Amino acid sequence: MSDINDTEFDPAAEAEAQAAETRAAEKRAESDDLAPLDAVIAERDQWRDRALRAAAEAENVKRRSETQMNDARAYAIQRFARDLLGVADNLERALQAAPKNAEGAEAGLVTGLEMTQKALLTAFETNGLKRVAPEPGEAFDPHLHQAMMEQPSTAVAGGGVIQTLQAGYELFGRTVRPAMVVVAAKGSAAAPANPYAQAETPGGNVDAKA
Domains of the chain: 129-193 (2.30.22.10)
The pLDDT assigned to 6 comes to: 53
First-to-last CA distance in the chain? 145
Helix ranges restricted to H, the chain: 11-97, 105-126
The pLDDT assigned to 31 comes to: 62
Query: Is-contact 113 147, C-beta < 8 A?
Result: no
Residue type, 197: A
Q: What is the pLDDT along the chain (210 residues), one digit of tens a residue?
A: 445 455 565 676 776 777 777 777 766 666 666 667 777 788 888 898 888 999 999 999 988 888 888 777 777 777 888 888 888 888 888 888 888 887 888 888 888 989 999 999 898 888 888 889 999 999 999 999 999 999 999 889 988 999 999 999 998 788 889 999 999 998 777 554 444 444 444 444 444 343
List CB contacts of 103: < 8 A, sequence separation 6 or more.
Answer: none
Q: Burial level of 134, CB count in 10 A (0-12/13-18/19+)?
A: buried
The pLDDT assigned to 142 comes to: 93
Look up the pTM and report it: 0.52
